[in-house]
Amino acid sequence: MLWHDSPRQGLMLRPADAVLIPFSLLWGGFAIAWEINALSMDMPLIFKLWGIPFVLVGLYLIAGRFWWDARLRAHTHYALTNERILVVSGFNGQKVQSHPLRTLPPITQTERADGSGTIALGSPALIQLPFGWPGAAATPELHIKTNVQQVFRSILDAQRRQNM
């Protein structure tokens, strides 16, 4: 094993949040206002029930997705071997993703001022759906806590040795 770690923990904002946060506040605000009006007025039962799924989706978009993302990252571990990158995730380590170095698409890194960053295992899609979004097939990413450049170089070096 050449390297192993777990992802950054806690709240993590992504570029898509610049759009998703205002959208989620509008969605949630409208759904909650609808439900309050439906419950406080003498409306038919269908109107009172109709808004509940929209309120639940709004609550997930506003806060639940951040909680779920943090919880998933808390149960994720990364490893780099001389042949592959492994991502073990799930609450009991139920999911193992193996990314063979020999067939890995070009990787990119994004570094923050504190040395943490993200390594994308392939080209990012034009539109990245949030982590954990149903049906999202996002580019696999490693969320590195410290020294992302060193991890990036380690992956490139291991790839070079694989291709010799």
Residues 103-160: tens digit of each pLDDT:
999 999 999 999 999 999 987 665 555 555 555 557 889 999 999 999 999 999 999 9
pLDDT of residue 21: 96
- 164 confidence band (pLDDT: 50, 70, 90): confident
Helix axes 17-40, 45-59, angle to 10 degrees: 160
User: Who wins on pLDDT, 50 or 91?
Assistant: 50
- 91 confidence band (pLDDT: 50, 70, 90): confident
pLDDT of residue 152: 97
Tell me the average pLDDT across 21-28: 97
**With contact defined as beta carbons under 8 Å apart, do 151 and 11 qualify?**
no
Burial of 148 (0-12, 13-18, 19+ CB in 10 A): buried
pLDDT of residue 57: 97
User: What amino acid is encoded at 71 in this protein?
Assistant: R
pLDDT over 70, % of the chain? 91
- Total residues belonging to the chain: 164
Q: What is the dihedral of CA 62, 13, 90, 155, to 10 degrees?
A: 160
pLDDT of residue 137: 55
CA distance 65 to 70: 9
Alpha-carbon torsion (114, 115, 118, 120), positive or negative: positive
Q: State the DSSP string of 42-59.
A: T--HHHHHHHHHHHHHHH
pLDDT of residue 86: 96
Tell me the average pLDDT across 82-102: 90
- 92 confidence band (pLDDT: 50, 70, 90): confident
| Average pLDDT over the chain, rounded to an integer | 89
pLDDT of residue 125: 61
Residue 121 Rama label (left phi>0; alpha psi -120 to 50; beta) = beta
Tell me the average pLDDT across 34-39: 94
